[in-house]
Structure 1
Amino acid sequence: MVKLIHTLADHDDDVNCCAFSSALLATCSLDKTVRLYSLSDFSELPHSPLKFHTYAVHCCCFSPSGHILASCSTDGTTVLWNTQNGQTLAVMEQPSGSPVRVCQFSPDSTCLVSGAADGTVVMWNAQSYKLYRCGSVKDGSLVACAFCPTGTLFVTGSSCGDLTVWDDKMRCLHSEKAHDLGITCCDFSSQPISDGEQTHFFRLASCGQDCQIKMWVVSFTHVSGFELKYKSTLSGHSAPVLACAFSHNGQMLVSGSVDKSVIVYDTNTENILYTLTQHTRYVTTCAFAPNILLLATGSMDKTVNIWQFDPEALCQAGSTEDQPKQFIEDWSEDDVSTWLCAQGLEDLTGLFKMNNIDGRELLNLTKESLADDLKIESLGLRSKVLRKIEELRTKVKTLSSGVPDEFICPITRELMKEPVIASDGYSYEKEAMENWISKKKRTSPMTNLVLPSVVLIPNRTLKMAINRWLETHQK
């Protein structure tokens, strides 16, 4: 179901962080270097390792397009690199000179945030490389940072255990104690959950020295403003948890711990899917690839392990969004109620039960039946229910065909033949994306944000994965 396919052992000291773009894997280490690998065969690029930092490199991250890599270090700098040739684009010095522990690009690539050991957080203009705004937390070092999918806010985590939420103008919106012994990492799911016109929800995970992984729901409403709500705690690790990361579709969460294990959770059921124990020392970092079912985990044992998931096994493991594991057509009325609650439609559960709506009936609902039979008067609510049902129908079609969702174009919902990477970091069928752009749509089909560029890059790694899947499944 998940297997170790490659081990990278090029670093001379602890691996601190690893990050994927659609074509590359980056790793950084206490040995002061950053290394780049091709996802096609995991060979190291000719211009790797990248050398500039004079002390340990704590974090690295790609811009959404994958063309730029950022790295930050104890030397007090955040460096931007050209991933094509390894050249240094900019060296941005933390104003306080404090060791920089974390860096993160915004989803639209307009800015980069860096957090330091003295609690300062800096937002840089990613085009001009100039400082935009500064802030600081009350206590502790900044060790974690994550942007929400829309870029309207980001969250930082401190060694004192505080989660602090900032807007895109660096205004502090909220701060609260999340982990008693200090936060080590946090991550947003890339898939926001919409609730009608007025509210947007985002899943957030945080982990810490208290051996816990906590799940949160972040929301913005036009009526009540901002809200951060604790949802649940995931169990499984017996020691401090040093890293956590969502899969690209938000269906899995991975964590790495001082107990030397890696745990993969189903984010909907919160059950443990896999426990991986190949590392011989603390697991310090973990990351999912954006377009293919790969996981990278790094450790103080100086290695990075690459894991591959079986798409069919994941489908059987119940990776569909917030729903029971059996086929949707077989859902009971209670299963439909569970699904409604997961979509933020809990007010409709009584109505659906009263009308005996099970899985099969749910899939057959239409605009007319929602209005005439169920008497849902609100046009907006009917439209939302229909959108959610259409998503289920698409999932039924995809699962019944056995095609992994990562191979499906987000625009056409069909198997991709010529996948390309757009500047939003997502992959699309080439012709579909070209048509999208030609109709003067300069926004991402996935995020609705303005595309930084209309250049489309062939995703050869994804195409190879699709071809391999076709060879084994369509004989």
Structure 2
Amino acid sequence: MVSLMCTLRDHTDEVGCCAFSPSLLATSSGDKTLRVYNTADFSEVPFSPLSGHGYGVHCCCFSSCGSYLLSCSTDGSVIVWSSETGERAAVLQHPDRSPLRVCALAPDSSHLLAGACDGTVALWDFTSKTLRRCSAVSEASVVACCFSPCGQMFVSGCTYGDLKLWDVTDVNLLHAEKDAHDLGVTCCSFAQQFKVDGCCVEFRLASCGQDSQLKIWIVSQRDGAASVMKLLHTLTNQSAPVLSCAFSPDGEIVVSGSVDKSVAVYDANLGTLLHTLKQHDRYVTAVALSPTMPWIATGSMDRTVNVWRIGDEISAADSESQQTVCQGRKLTGHSRLLLADWSEEDVQAWMCEEGLQELISIFKANNIDGPELNKLNKETATELGIESVGLRGRLLRKIEALKAEQSGSEAPDEFLCPITRELMKDPVIAADGYSYERQSIESWIRGKNKTSPMTNLPLQTTLLTPNRSLKMAISRWKSSQ
């Protein structure tokens, strides 16, 4: 049984990653921030949000003891934060300032790894915060990496679809699995458990990709012999690219999130589907499991993070207690729907939340549902018999805020700047053929990034051309909202 416990709605852009420590949940977003919550009640800690990156934050992770939180960004940096105070303990920069898509910390916190868009991985000694080496591991962007439980190896995954196993000491290639995922790898994760049989050690690795598949591998290493990767399961229950995957602490369960908006929960040993969760409105970009509690966190392009309880069905008393703990953030039915899909009951529930209880009887008598609420204006509000000018004005302001909130999350992707993921005001076309917000791409170029933020190839010129047709399209779209 998997039960939705609460929904966190603090980010203002898509959620890119979720990570648990023994007592905290961290989330990162295209809005350039990290949010940190107590797992006891999922209240936000006093020092949250954390701001320090210049661009969207792609990945975050905790040290195994939970003392440090790490994050990496398009700005080419890894920031090490104190989990107790939120203060920055260190800022580590990729040698070529290449955008970083993923970061990982060894189980014993000895090494820090970050994968970059230029096909390199940067490896730091975490204790001294010194760069040990920056090695080319792919001809394509490195978008996935993770350490083995022993900390002696790491796996990298790239947008070409290859998985590669590396020795940490010298970054020597131990094994290459070509085309592990057609069209590209998106995420990989080791199970914490491993099996020792004589001089052979076996690990389990999960990987997912643009081919809409989640794969579970057996990675074995024998003294004096080459490392081997053997495919154990290919899981195809999701109908679109799978963007994230993670094992439970005991290695018995593996969870994945997909472009089809679903979260799949599998038995990792049998490869059988246990649950399909479908409460997100857009792509599920992140999944994480708590090391100490029966929590699953899932992040999405809909800007929300859902927290789930996995285990036995909860009693009514426990459910009521948990709703109180989550401080009113429990996901209600209407909040998952567009306004046009709201029922009369959804409208009435929303009015209770917004302190408009005195109008419920009027709305109920006139059968006001979502489409009718969407069309409500000053004239129709008067026709309904809402005589109080103040109450009528408050209602209309609440409706406008609701429509603005919903339209913001549904902005067409091509209207968002690829760097900041914000709606563009002055779009320009760069030499790579992509459109960006002028201020963002100019800042990118001034920062000595003479490569494309999208392709990582050199920009032949820094000339920027106004994209007037796109600007007009955005203007028309905003007027229609």
Q: Report the TM-score, using the length of structure 1 for normalisation.
A: 0.65
- Counterpart residue number, 1:335: none
Once the two structures are superposed, residues 360-400 of structure 1 have per-residue CA deviations (whole angstroms, 9 ceiling, x without a partner) of: xxxxxxxxxxxxxxxxxxxxxxxxxxxxxxxxxxxxxxxxx
- Answering whether residue 42 of structure 2 is matched by residue 42 of structure 1, we say yes
Deviation, 1:136, is 1.3
Match of 2:195, as an amino acid? I
- Counterpart residue number, 1:118: 118
**1:85 aligns to what SS in structure 2?**
coil
Match of 2:292, as an amino acid? N
Deviation, 1:176, is 2.2
- Counterpart residue number, 2:186: 184
Once the two structures are superposed, residues 283-320 of structure 1 have per-residue CA deviations (whole angstroms, 9 ceiling, x without a partner) of: 0000000011110000000000000012489xxxxxxx
- Counterpart residue number, 1:216: 217
d(CA) in 1 for partners of 2:139 and 2:261? 29
Once the two structures are superposed, residues 331-370 of structure 1 have per-residue CA deviations (whole angstroms, 9 ceiling, x without a partner) of: xxxxxxxxxxxxxxxxxxxxxxxxxxxxxxxxxxxxxxxx
Deviation, 1:223, is 3.9
d(CA) in 2 for partners of 1:135 and 1:172? 11
d(CA) in 2 for partners of 1:49 and 1:252? 31
d(CA) in 2 for partners of 1:84 and 1:183? 34
d(CA) in 2 for partners of 1:310 and 1:215? 23
d(CA) in 1 for partners of 2:143 and 2:101? 5
Match of 1:203, as an amino acid? R
- Counterpart residue number, 1:92: 92
d(CA) in 2 for partners of 1:223 and 1:95? 35
CA RMSD of superposed structures (Å): 1.1
- Counterpart residue number, 2:25: 25
- Counterpart residue number, 1:60: 60
| Match of residue 196, structure 2, among 194, 200, 203 | 194
Matched ranges for 1:25-424 at <5 A: 25-169=25-169, 170-177=171-178, 178-195=180-197, 197-311=198-312
Match of 2:20, as an amino acid? F
Once the two structures are superposed, residues 95-131 of structure 1 have per-residue CA deviations (whole angstroms, 9 ceiling, x without a partner) of: 1111000000001001100011111101111111110
d(CA) in 1 for partners of 2:136 and 2:78? 17
Q: Report the TM-score, using the length of structure 2 for normalisation.
A: 0.64
Are the counterparts in 2 of residues 146 and 188 from structure 1 also a CA contact under 8 Å?
A: yes
* Structure 1 residues 13 and 162: alpha-carbon distance in aligned structure 2, compared to 1, 3 A threshold: same
Match of 2:191, as an amino acid? S
Q: Which of the two has higher C-alpha Rg?
A: 2
- Counterpart residue number, 2:400: none
d(CA) in 1 for partners of 2:149 and 2:203? 8
d(CA) in 2 for partners of 1:74 and 1:305? 25
* Structure 1 residue ranges, 4+ long, deviating more than 6 angstroms after superposition: none
The total of aligned residue pairs comes to: 312
Gaps of 5+ in 2: 315-481
**1:146 aligns to what SS in structure 2?**
strand
d(CA) in 2 for partners of 1:312 and 1:2? 8
Gaps of 5+ in 1: 314-475
**1:225 aligns to what SS in structure 2?**
coil
d(CA) in 2 for partners of 1:78 and 1:254? 26
- Counterpart residue number, 1:463: none
d(CA) in 1 for partners of 2:58 and 2:257? 16
Deviation, 1:21, is 0.2
Are the counterparts in 2 of residues 293 and 311 from structure 1 also a CA contact under 8 Å?
A: no
